[in-house]
């Protein structure tokens, strides 16, 4: 079973209750949205946009920017497109089905310049080739553009029983925290590809990162 089929199978029914159930443990999404500055006329892409929940919040907050969403799951995008079409604040949202590592701003979205901002909200821990997804994001980001990430961290300041329960729960949904994600981002900075700032959230339950491309 390929990645698209696996995602469609997982979300065929979950998409109806996804936003209700995920709000309890996808901690930090709203912080990312609140702290990501978006200027009028900018283009912003969410990699792994799911039901378009984050994009809808951004579109309402920044009506003069253009927002784009990419997701591997056709099933999720059915729900996302329905929400976009029903929302009068969402005329500046554009969605496509594709794998994150296949990102090409011109071919997929028919725009003529790289994105101003790209963000991952609890998506990298669900993308098996997450390194390729990050590389694709960086390649499709303009010089001086920003990459924003919120995702699970190592929970090192939380009780061991909590770490165990969370890991087993996330396994049910194909979510696997990559322990080398933060070192990979730090190495991007060491390669002088850009500047990185990070901080932990909730006892390192999650982390926020911003990478500004040089």
Tell me the three-class secondary structure of the chain, residue by residue: CCHHHHHHHHHHHHCCCHHHHHCCCCCCHHHHHHHCCCCCCCEEEEECCCCCHHHHHHHHHCCCCEEEEEECCHHHHHHHHHHHHHCCCCCCEEEEECCHHHCCHHHHHCCCCCEEEEEEECCHHHCCCHHHHHHHHHHCEEEEEEEEEEEECCCCCCCHHHHHHHHHHHHCCCCCCCCCHHHHHHHHHHCCCEEEEEEEECCCCEEEEEEEEC
What ranges do the domains of the chain cover?
3-213
Q: What is the mean pLDDT of residues 167-189?
A: 82
| Per-residue model confidence as pLDDT tens digits over 199-213 | 998 777 889 999 999
Q: Under CATH, what is the fold of the domain 3-213?
A: Rossmann fold (3.40.50)
Span 72-94, pLDDT tens digits: 988 889 989 999 999 888 899 99
């Amino acid at each position: 079973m390929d990645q698209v089929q696996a995602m469609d199978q997982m979300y065929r029914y979950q998409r109806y209750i996804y936003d209700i159930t995920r709000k309890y443990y996808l901690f930090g999404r709203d912080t990312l949205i609140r702290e990501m500055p978006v200027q009028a006329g900018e283009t912003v892409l969410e990699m792994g946009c799911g039901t378009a929940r984050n994009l809808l919040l951004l579109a309402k907050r920044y009506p003069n920017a253009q927002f784009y969403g990419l997701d591997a799951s056709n099933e999720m995008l059915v729900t996302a497109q329905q929400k976009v079409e029903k929302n009068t604040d969402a005329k500046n949202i554009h969605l496509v089905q594709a794998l994150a590592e296949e990102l090409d701003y011109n071919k997929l979205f028919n725009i003529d310049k790289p994105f101003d901002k790209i963000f991952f909200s609890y998506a990298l821990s669900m993308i098996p080739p997450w390194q390729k997804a990050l590389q694709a994001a960086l390649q499709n980001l303009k010089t001086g553009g920003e990459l924003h990430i919120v995702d699970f961290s190592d929970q090192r300041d939380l009780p061991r029983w909590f770490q165990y329960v969370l890991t087993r729960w996330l396994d049910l949904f194909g979510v696997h925290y990559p322990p080398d994600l933060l070192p990979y981002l730090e190495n991007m900075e060491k390669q002088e590809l850009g500047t990185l700032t990070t901080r932990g959230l909730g006892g390192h339950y999650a982390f926020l990162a911003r990478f500004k491309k040089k």
